[in-house]
Chain A
Amino acid sequence: MEREKILAEIRQDRRAFIKKVASGTIAGSLLLVIPAGAFELPEQLPGMKEEKGPFIKGKKFAFIVDITRCIGCGSCCVADKNEYNVPDGNYRTWVERYIIDDHDNVYVDSPNGGLDGYTKPREDLPHPVRDTFFVPKLCNMCEKPSCVQVCPVGATFQTEDGFVLIDKKRCVGCAYCIQACPYSVRFLNPVTKTADKCTWCYHRVRKGLLPACVNVCPVQARKFGDLNDKNSEVYKIMHEPHVISILKPDMGNKPSLHYLGLRREVV
């Protein structure tokens, strides 16, 4: 009897020992790996890791598109489509091709939103081309957004940190915001049956990452940063002499999206 009791105790101890060793090993290795940054990506937007609370404080984000740099490769559109699984025929961002001929006629196109890249020149033009450039488009993130004004249920809202976002659990799908947006950046998502648009990758920005399109642009035509950070590229651009403008200023929406080298032909 006594012997069996002792044996049972040993068996129990052995099992407990193995359990302890195993869990200790896992915990120990995690303790080594996590602080080393195994689950975190390097910060692209300085100072975002310290951000706490529901909104980003002390930062004023701006998006700048440099149309003198854009080469119309369509990488930004591909990155965007992958990031959000955007249904075909709808566009959170797109790239337009402008062609001006020597008769001052303006030709614009954007086949498939520029998703496939502009690999071939247009051949249907009657006169020699004088100038050509590409214009990427995305949400203007207006300071006075007409989409927010007209949304009947407040599903489209402006966050305290200046982002215009959509709560797809509240959206009724009336499409009033789509009518109200002067820039046609909104669409009715055929899958969710709610309004949808570019968010400047709010979920990435919150983690200190650049928007997906900015991240992939091979020529830095898309720039994103904090205007309150004097070391940021966007601050420097906005505070140096440049041809810089916004789209449809007459609408009075005060966009936070700025265009570097914007041409008068661009609508």
Chain B
Amino acid sequence: MSPLHGGAAALTNYVFPNDLHVHWSLMIVLYPYITGIVAGAFIVSSLYHVFHVKTLQPISRFALLFALAFLICATWPLLNHLGHPERAMSMMLTPNPTSAMAGFGYIYSAYMVVLILEILFIYRGTLVELKQKSRGFMRFLYGILTMGSDNIGARAMKLDHKIISFLAGIGIPMACVLHGYVGFIFGGVKANPLWATPLMPLIFLLSACVSGIAGIILTYFVIKTIRREEVDMDCVRTCIKFLWGFFILDFVFEMLEVFTHFYMSTHHWHVLESLLWGPLYQSYWVYQVMIFSVIPFFLLGFLSLIRFSDGIVKFFAPIVSLMILIQVLLMRWNVVIGGQLMSKSERGSVAFHPEWLEKEGILAAVIIMVAPIIILYILGKIFPFWQEKRAGHTAA
């Protein structure tokens, strides 16, 4: 680059001495990933319960259990990350009202309450039946879960239905707030040029929907395969269509954000450019954009627009879902870690490689990601995932 146009060339590799540490590592990558899956799964359930997308009925209950399993684990990476986890409750007991982070405890707890109530009301009819069939501890457990009411008469079920519609109704804005808010935690950090964009909550929210739908499709296939049960193809095809729809919005906004900065080409862009074409080149351009966005984008498009045979859909649906799940994880990585790789000196960047066995290392991350699957398995022992196909039990 010639000296006359040497703005970028003049910037040599200087990093502020305190910027050599990446403080928000794998745990903070997982936190928005998990809450995103929760919010997305809830949206799937709401598509049936609120927007009456009938074909999604087979997975409408499962989606809620799936959301709960992940929601239970959402705080784990945060607690593992904190220097003093024993003081975590201070965030709720003595919060600082100006802190974007202080709201998480409240939003998380409120959402947890709504989700649990919705599950209990949706399952009440089923749970009452199960209670009558079971004995011992399970009978006692179902007694608690049915809130002591065995009434499954027409009037009671109608009231349940009203409560469910109400809970699902308030659940949608709450799910959006839960994840839009997580985006705001990053979007509100003015000192970081990669994070500080008003689009951040929107991108986080859209990618949340995408990861939730993809997660449900994948686990649906996995469970159905393990149990050797029939896959509901209408349901899968509808899911794929919604996944494509949300992914179009998600991917387009992600790209528009970068393109707008590139087009304006202010100082802000020159800082971003050195990051996106520097330490983030592979994980952003090669993996997130080229492999795990462009390929699923076309795959989903074909699956949505062309009426392929069931066999082809059955083959590609789990693959494309897995690719989307990886795309979202990469996006979280590139935002959370990427943002910290640029020094605030605007003159250099650092590299980050997670270790396997450190406190916030890869092993801890794997354990936290496996935990929701184990919790989902336990939940499956109490709450039947699928509704049996018979009349009279579609009240929910």
Which residues of A line the B interface, CB within 8 A? 89-91, 94, 96, 103-110, 112-113, 137, 146, 148-154, 170-176, 178-188, 192-194, 251-252, 267
Contacts and interface: CB of A to CB of B under 8 A. Distances in A.
Contact of B87 (A151, A153, A180): A153
Contact of A173 (B82, B91, B192, B346): B82
Interface in B281-326: none
B96 A152 contact: yes
A193 B83 contact: yes
Contacts of B347: 106, 108, 267
Nearest to B91: A152
Contact of B189 (A104, A109, A171, A180): A180
Contacts of A149: 98-99
Contacts of A112: 17
Contact of B12 (A105, A172, A173, A183): A105
Interface in B87-112: 87-88, 90-91, 94-96, 98-102, 104
Interface residues of B, number: 46
Contacts of B344: 181-184, 267
A45 to B, nearest CB: 28
A179 B340 contact: yes
Q: Indicate the member of B24, B94, B191 with the most A CB atoms within 10 Å.
A: B191
Interface string B166-205: 0000000000000000000100111110000000000000
Contacts of B104: 152
Given A170-B90, A184-B16, A176 B191 contact: no
A90 B9 CA distance: 29
16 contacts: A94-B17, A105-B10, A107-B12, A109-B14, A146-B190, A150-B188, A150-B189, A152-B95, A152-B101, A153-B90, A172-B82, A176-B101, A176-B185, A180-B191, A184-B343, A194-B84
A105 B68 CA distance: 55
B346 A267 contact: yes
A110 B191 CA distance: 21
A91 B21 CA distance: 12
A103 B6 CA distance: 9
B102 A152 contact: yes
B155 to A, nearest CB: 46
Contacts of A110: 14, 16-17
Contacts of A153: 87, 90-91, 94-96, 99, 102
Interface of B: 3, 6, 9-12, 14, 16-21, 23-24, 81-85, 87-88, 90-91, 94-96, 98-102, 104, 185, 188-192, 339-340, 343-347
A118 to B, nearest CB: 14
Nearest to A125: B12
A101 to B, nearest CB: 9
Contact of A152 (B14, B99, B191): B99
Contacts of B100: 150
Best-buried of A153, A154, A171 by chain B (most CB within 10 Å): A153
Given A152-B95, A154-B96, A172-B90, A108 B82 contact: no
Nearest to B348: A108
Contacts of A91: 17-18
A180 B191 CA distance: 6
Contacts of B85: 172
Nearest to B346: A267
A137 B14 CA distance: 14
A104 B10 contact: yes
A186 B18 contact: yes
A180 B188 CA distance: 9
A107 B6 CA distance: 13
B90 A108 contact: no
Given A105-B12, A106-B12, 19 more contacts: A106-B347, A108-B12, A109-B14, A110-B17, A112-B17, A150-B100, A152-B95, A170-B87, A170-B90, A171-B84, A172-B82, A173-B83, A174-B81, A176-B185, A180-B191, A181-B344, A194-B83, A252-B190, A267-B346
Nearest to A147: B191
Nearest to B90: A153
Nearest to A111: B17
A158 B90 CA distance: 19
